[in-house]
Structure 1
């Protein structure tokens, strides 16, 4: 039997998903468990259940590599993860623990936003672009880089983490230790928090999430619109900084906040035109991601396949 598939894991604070992925980016076998709210061993037990379910499906023998996209921070060089949204895992030896279950498949660990970048470059909005930043804007803000046509995760698997570029030197302190980070201005909770502080109020007993702020902005609520404009300005400043540093031509924006559509993308394009002013940075465009919830699995598979030469350069296929 030929070994022509990539196994993939997508590990986050809400769910742990797994799949066997073919060379066309199709998910042939899937498995999923909710992420336990308990301690680290309970989370790893759920990961093991997902892997065993994939193994029981009859196609596991075709898996040549394993890719893991995890909420971070991750340290790919050490094989450890410390996800902010999985409190039981701090410097958790994920790579070693996965190998106890999955065996010695060649394995690649990257951050979840880096996995999203790999996916969008292979089968999504960044396909055909050799220099792109792909971003997840949700509870946090993360990113991954495609440079010279290849995924560039960096030594620890975190390169492209645009959420912690400072765009406001006198801004609010960030949990990362810096201040004025993109994430502190543009994440979903930050948008909602700012809107409430500026006087926006939902209906009594109503939703106070960023999605509710987006819905209000879509009806013309000035405070809600201003809150999204502020977030878009922070994203634009971060994207322009990245484009100036490494000459990008595309920024792909996904995640829950991107679901606001033109409420986010209209001011983002306007601010980006202002911030990316130098001739070599000006071509950068911001577009929505295409792959949705499957991006983590597709990207983890692509990152592993590229790292270990499984397919013909997935990022270029």
Structure 2
């Protein structure tokens, strides 16, 4: 018999972190805790207020419902949670944790054995020009060969100048540059801005315009000289048919998967399968989960064996995260299994 409970937890940023949607100081998350025959399973339901499709008033009610019905068939529960992708992910994670030898080793691999690593990008948050430049300098010094810069909140020319300053010192062979607009561009100006950005030999741009503008995004992907990656566009698209229609209509060059926002491991698998059938590239990123969720995403991602740098370097953002074996070193995420977990709510 499985007994389930949940607990809310607020993560505090070490430094307020800026995106085009605003400045983040805290991040709410919820933990699903399962107990059975002396074993424990832990899952993280990483709701992202203002972004998740399951940012709803009945979120906690759904968690209560899940705990009351945890004895039911897993497939049934996952299906009933279709509109709550972060709870789907927390349930998948907790069940995997409960059935594992160690509650935090969900996908044993060379990664969890500490013999292999995952290449990741270094994330540059928005802020003043000086602040962003300092972050860039720090990431390059830390050994990152792929840098992702959030754009769209400060003056566009200032952002271009920052990117130019990197390109003056480092070619695209030295440093891969990605930018993430978080939907900040207007459709009327987007193509012109993409042309300017493409002169800087960038890898790609994430979500140049707000999601839901299917016709405009389709035209952008068709005409853009810079590869486009869909991110927020995938949120709230649940059925396989709708996923296929979206990707076959827009035809992006890449998609970006955040398991907490797209329905966990199964939801991500579904997107990857459709993307690969349509020759669309992909990578996986965290969505500001604690180290519990990040750990699950990292282990899952490693097993997918993608060659692209992933977006998994967010574990050091919070003052009250949980001690764990994950370490960022030389532009990679490592699992140091000599370090013990300290999960204490």
Same fold (TM over 0.5): no
Q: Given the two structures, how large is their TM-score scaled by the length of structure 1?
A: 0.30
